[in-house]
Amino acid sequence: MSGARGLVRLYVAGPSPRTEAAWHTVQTACKVASTPRFDVELVDVSERPDEARRAGIMLTPALVRINRGEERRWLGDFTDVEAVARALVSDDV
Amino acid sequence: MSEAEGLGGADGVRSVQRILLVEDEASDALVLSHALKGLGFAPSGFLQARTLAEALTLLETGEVDLGIVDLGLPDSRGTDTVRRIRAAAPDLPLIVVSAAADTEAAVGSLQRGADDYLVKGAYDARSLDRAIRYATDRRRLQTAERRRAVELERAERQLRAVVEAHSDGMLIVDSRGVVRFSNQGARHLLGFDERELVGHTFGSPLLDSGDAVELEGPVRGDTRSKVEMRSTAIDWEGTPAHLIVLRDVTVHRRLEERLRQSQKMEALGQLTGGIAHDFNNVLAVILNGTEALAEMVPAELVEAHAELREIETSARRAAGMVRRLLGFSRRGYLRFETLDLRKFTQDALAITRRMLTDVVGIRSSVEEGVGNVRADPAALQQIFLNVVANARDAMPEGGELTIDSGAAELDESHRARYPWVSPGQYERVSLSDTGVGMTAETLDRIFEPFFTTKGPQSGTGLGMAMVYGLMKQHRGLVHVHSKPGGGTRVDLFFPSSAASKRDVHRAEPQRGARRGTILVIEDEDALRRGIQRVLSNAGYEVLLAQDGREGIDAWRKHRAGIDLVVSDLVMPKLGGKEVLAEIRRAGDPCPFLLITGYGVESLADLRGRGVSMLTKPWSQQTLLNAVRAALRGEDVAPEATA
């Protein structure tokens, strides 16, 4: 059912130990952030550059949360699970 | 108290010195002058104008502190007079004194720029004074405000110019991550150029720590830079926001990586050099021992001899590994000649064809103009062999090896990673294969000793380490470019030599070399006995000393009869170099053979001074060859034992 689950996308620039760590952090944070309300997706901007540009991504890694039609975006190194979890539940209605 | 003082006239007199009276009626002008005198204004400061033209001229030519103007002038009627005077003197306190008592005239005058309006015959000293003070205060405030506004605008322009000119990108993003302000640096860094960033979503910083975070981008562009982001929480026009500063650190990171690599290789070189030296000493004892045993064990003990040969083979193999390690650690002894790199490359190609299977095609385009280089032929051959071996192993199903060359110029930028490289002209030889290629992780470690991606039976992982070390000894460098599935290219850069090619003189071995007396100085007992045995068996008379101090004593005692001094380099009390120095200081040109576990570039200064060198581990034959050559007065290159 549309709108029942939000979407979290992590945009990265190619595989590397750093992007793997960020992906692991985001996945963990999605589990930690109260309920499993998010579908999680990894987007490699080097493989899907047009999609990243259309989404307006400027720098990576970038975390995008789309919930109830609203989008929020964060930039950072995504090594702190708590910080990512806090971001995912911020401004929640 | 005068009327003027009671009305604040003392202040009025101080600030208003020159008063412009614009009045065509003499009587009215007189009344006004008298009123002003009564308020304490000095008549010497009154400027009379009967027309607007006269008034404007006076305004142009001099300082006027107050204007009192009649609306009815011969050359100007009504409030237009006020407008024109105001245009000519924006800061002038201006009072209209007019016969017209109607509100319309008063309002119109005020709207045109007058500060107050008095009706002729209806004003008294008090109202005149009040009007003057009101007009002067009002103008002073307005002038101050305008000046502040001008200064504020100038400060804003300057600040904006600084922010726009700064090479760092600066953004203000609101609490939703939307850009509210950007400078040129940010637009350029994010691939926006002249297009405005404001209104686009950049994103919010995940953490507010103020620490730098490294990102990559821009996603909009074709290149990838490393971008350092710092953020600070600020208040922007009354709402929470973030100041984001972005800096392109791509070049910085590249230099850091080069430095790290350079330091790593240096540390590895130090480590392997030390280990190799110690191993050489041990191997020398093993090899000498097996040679001695082989002579002692009766020939009919076939199995015993077979075991001894096994031991010798293993020891020689170990010596070969140590030699390659020394090559990496920059401790190997090289003998430089001027070589025609083109010819050398062609000769090496002929040799390498035998290494490559038939399914590997070879293309060569070595340029005619490739010049001369100073290089050790054996080392150069080893470099080629190692690189070609790797290329062969990368193409198990066949492929193509291409060799090309050319001139190259290296600049200062290479020094960050290769500190021994001087800017200048270089000769380049490149070997490219169409093999499996390497990942970035493998490429990062390719020059590390013992690093290998092949199985344990397929190599020691010393090949490219040796190439690195040998190129470094040649003051050149090696670059490797590779991509998984995309083959590998190895570029070798040798400093160009301006010297003309000359052949290395190799003396023909003379038969029946004169036997003589040799002083042997060696602190390792087993090695000392080994050398004595070999030389004695060859017919030389041998004097022994077990350290440098004993050696000097022995030399002094038997000086006249000593034909050659053979000395270890590193010894307690006094080393080989110090013994040599003392002998030379005494004026004795006696030939000197230095035996070293390193072979060392620091000995390069001794060459050509009757000094030869031999590296451990040596064999019977290499020792005898070196001794004979030294006795003949030749500058001997140490020969490998493997």
Determine, for residues A61 and B203 on separate chains, whether the beta-carbon distance falls below 8 Å.
Answer: no
- Which residue did the predictor score with more confidence, B574 or B95? B95
Q: Which residues of A touch B216 (CB under 8 A)?
A: 13, 59-61
Tokens 């070399």, residue located: B513
Q: Which of B267-276, B562-571, B619-628 has the lowest mean pLDDT?
A: B267-276
Determine, for residues A58 and B204 on separate chains, whether the beta-carbon distance falls below 8 Å.
Answer: no
Q: Is the dihedral of CA B315, B317, B322, B327 positive or negative?
A: positive
Buried b (16+ CB within 10 A) or exposed e, A42-55: ebbbeeeeeebeeb
Q: What is the pLDDT of residue B213?
A: 92
Determine, for residues B203 and A58 on separate chains, whether the beta-carbon distance falls below 8 Å.
Answer: yes
- Which residue did the predictor score with more confidence, B599 or B301? B301
Which residue in chain B is spatially nearest to A56 when comparing CA positions? B201
Q: What is the pLDDT of residue A1?
A: 40
Q: What is the pLDDT of residue A67?
A: 84
Is residue B228's pLDDT more than 90?
yes
State the average pLDDT over residues B47-52.
94
Which DSSP category does B462 fall into? Answer: -
Arithmetic mean of pLDDT over chain A: 86
Q: Which two tokens stand for residue B385?
A: 């062999």
Residue B289 near chain A (CB below 8 Å) = no
Which of A13, A49, A83 is the closest to B216 by Cβ?
A13
Q: What is the pLDDT of residue B522?
A: 92
Convert the pLDDT of each residue in B564-621 to its tens digit: 999 998 888 888 989 999 998 888 888 899 988 775 555 666 766 678 888 888 888 8
Share of chain B above pLDDT 70, in %: 87
Determine, for residues A83 and B224 on separate chains, whether the beta-carbon distance falls below 8 Å.
Answer: no
Q: Which of A44, A46, A58 to mutate to test the interface with B (most CBs of B within 10 A)?
A: A58
Convert the pLDDT of each residue in B97-145 to its tens digit: 988 788 888 899 999 999 999 999 888 889 999 999 999 999 999 889 9
The SS3 of residue B600 is coil
- Which residue did the predictor score with more confidence, B20 or B570? B20
Q: What is the pLDDT of residue B39?
A: 92
Is residue B635's pLDDT more than 60?
no
Which of A73, A80, A83 is the closest to B203 by Cβ?
A73
B327: confidence class by pLDDT, cuts 50, 70, 90 = low
Nearest to B581 by CA among B541, B609, B546: B609
Q: B215: exposed, middle or buried (C-beta count within 10 Å: 0-12, 13-18, 19+)?
A: buried
Interatomic CA distance for residues B385 and B298, integer angstroms: 40
Nearest to A25 by CA among A87, A93, A73, A90: A87
State the average pLDDT over residues B516-524.
91
Nearest to B334 by CA among B624, B607, B593, B631: B607
State the average pLDDT over residues B543-568.
90
When mean pLDDT is compared over B334-348, B492-506, B548-562, the highest value belongs to: B548-562
Determine, for residues A45 and B176 on separate chains, whether the beta-carbon distance falls below 8 Å.
Answer: no
Beta-sheet strand order (sheet of A6-12): A38-44, A6-12, A62-67, A70-75, B204-205
Q: What is the pLDDT of residue B155?
A: 96
Arithmetic mean of pLDDT over chain B: 83
What residues form DSSP beta bridges with A67? A70
Question: Contact B436/B468 with Cβ under 8 angstroms?
Answer: no
Q: What is the pLDDT of residue B501?
A: 34
Residue B176 near chain A (CB below 8 Å) = yes
State the average pLDDT over residues B320-344.
72
When mean pLDDT is compared over B184-188, B281-285, B407-411, the highest value belongs to: B184-188
Is residue B280's pLDDT more than 70?
yes
Q: Which two tokens stand for residue B197?
A: 């960033």
Nearest to B286 by CA among B240, B319, B248, B246: B319
The SS3 of residue B21 is strand
Q: What is the pLDDT of residue A57?
A: 94
Convert the pLDDT of each residue in B381-435 to its tens digit: 888 888 988 888 888 888 888 888 888 888 877 777 787 788 888 888 899 999 9
Share of chain B above pLDDT 90, in %: 38
Is residue B11's pLDDT more than 60?
no
Cα B142 versus chain centre, distance = 57
Angle in degrees, 0-180, between the axes of helices B79-88 and B52-61, rounded to the nearest 10: 20
Is residue B642's pLDDT more than 60?
no
Interatomic CA distance for residues B533 and B288, integer angstroms: 10
Q: Is the dihedral of CA B160, B165, B168, B169 positive or negative?
A: positive
CA distance A63 to chain B (A): 9
B333: confidence class by pLDDT, cuts 50, 70, 90 = low
Q: Which two tokens stand for residue B496?
A: 């160009």
Q: B459: exposed, middle or buried (C-beta count within 10 Å: 0-12, 13-18, 19+)?
A: middle
B272: confidence class by pLDDT, cuts 50, 70, 90 = confident
Residues 6+ apart with CB under 8 A from B74: B24, B50, B51
Determine, for residues A59 and B218 on separate chains, whether the beta-carbon distance falls below 8 Å.
Answer: yes
